[in-house]
Chains A and B, each alone.
Chain A
């Protein structure tokens, strides 16, 4: 008898929890969600020499924060409290050296760093000791590590259809995920991208008002146009006519697979507005970063990182999702 009562209680509790989560889900999809940011950490100030012009950031499961700094050609490691633990790199093209350190991604054991001026991806261990260089003959616009043996990158190919290229750990191209059907004008197909845990691909175009999702088979599931951009300004540079205004600057996913897209010049608050999109392609919320940023990143614990003080400061925020 007692057993039956406790089973019933358990069933009721589970039912209520299920109902509550469905309710939250539907509220979120109706756009009744707000995102509040609470600053929890600030690395680099106007008076110290911690950061000069940081470009990319990654956090590991231990809370360590890794940052590329283009002004002093370095890769830096900070503790979870923001203390500089190690710095590596100097100006150059040799192993562990940089001319323009840029993008950063990581696995459990390694860090991967691109250089805007030097082809290839440099690999470091978590102690910032140089391991090897993966030869990639293409310019890297964005990249993501998929596993220890695979990584994906977006590149700039003027006469090719837009595609995310997948390489093995030795730099050999394995496959590609095509996201455009036609060859566009130069740079119009540049994208930032991310993959969720199911290997679904999300892309946001840099110079077009388009955000899209492709499933793991490469089939487009949805396409969004949030800003109603009618015309892109262009400028002649050398023999090319190139777009000049960035529409979307960066994308990142949180640990519940919601997509966060950082707006550019066409947003109300340029380089500060962030659009939160559900996996089904619904706009859930828009919030504004305290200062303009060139990128956003959300770590595995759902902390959001963005820029302040013209790249001298890295800010870490706890995100609070509030449903009305």
Chain B
């Protein structure tokens, strides 16, 4: 009889210990659990997923001088080089900035803006340019276009930026493409 009681007691004690262990463990887990990270590049279930963000820190910025539109052979070098770039580079690492002389339409700026927008539209369409191009109305990039249409190449992986002025020689073209695709 005494033995039965003792066994019973031990069994209950074991169950209690197991229960306590389970209880505290889950509680501790809740206390030390790392907050769930929010992935900024994955949307909620209902929305279409954004393309995977590249780890590459490279950007090619085309600084296009509006005056070069008056001399299409001048801007041909840019068009030919643009079309030689691999499509993923154009899609993910390339932008265009169209600069113009702000004094040219100082008497009628709205008209000047329309002229620029229209010529850009015609140029982009006729040359199948799929680059996002912004018009530099605040003239932030004007000094970069002082020598004509050019490229600013930014490489965050290696920590440098470089400027190339069109027309490019073969060495420069190779250097730029190699930097973008490595």
Contacts and interface: CB of A to CB of B under 8 A. Distances in A.
Interface of A: 46-47, 49, 52-53, 70-73, 90-91, 99-100, 116-117, 309-310, 312
Contact of B114 (A46, A71, A91, A100): A46
Interface in B122-143: 122-123, 125-127
Contact of B118 (A70, A117, A312): A312
B110 to A, nearest CB: 9
B168 interface: no
A90 B127 CA distance: 9
A44 to B, nearest CB: 9
- Kindly name the residue among B69, B115, B126 whose own CB sees the greatest number of chain A CB atoms within 10 A: B126
13 contacts: A46-B114, A47-B114, A49-B121, A49-B122, A52-B126, A53-B69, A53-B70, A53-B122, A72-B125, A73-B126, A99-B76, A100-B73, A309-B111
Contact of A72 (B76, B111, B122): B122
A310 B126 contact: no
A116 B72 CA distance: 10
A49 B69 CA distance: 16
A142 to B, nearest CB: 19
B95 to A, nearest CB: 22
A52 B119 contact: yes
B119 A71 contact: yes
A148 B114 CA distance: 42
Interface in B47-64: none
Interface string B90-133: 00000000000000000000010011001101110111000000
- How many of chain B's residues touch chain A, expressed as a range? 10 to 19
A112 B13 CA distance: 107
A52 B123 CA distance: 9
Contacts, number: 47
Contacts of A49: 118, 121-122
Given A52-B118, A53-B69, A71 B111 contact: no
Interface of B: 69-70, 72-73, 76, 111, 114-115, 118-119, 121-123, 125-127
Contacts of A71: 69, 72, 119, 122-123, 126
Contacts of B127: 91
Contacts of A47: 114, 118
A46 B69 contact: no
A202 B115 CA distance: 35
Contacts of A90: 126
Contacts of B76: 99
B112 to A, nearest CB: 9
A100 B115 contact: no
A218 B39 CA distance: 82
- Kindly name the residue among B70, B122, B123, B127 whose own CB sees the greatest number of chain A CB atoms within 10 A: B122
A134 B125 CA distance: 29
Given A46-B118, A72-B122, A312-B118, A117 B111 contact: no
Contacts of A52: 118-119, 121-123, 126
B72 A100 contact: yes
Which 10 interchain pairs have the tightest Cβ spacing? A52-B122, A46-B114, A72-B126, A71-B122, A310-B115, A72-B122, A100-B72, A73-B126, A46-B118, A70-B72
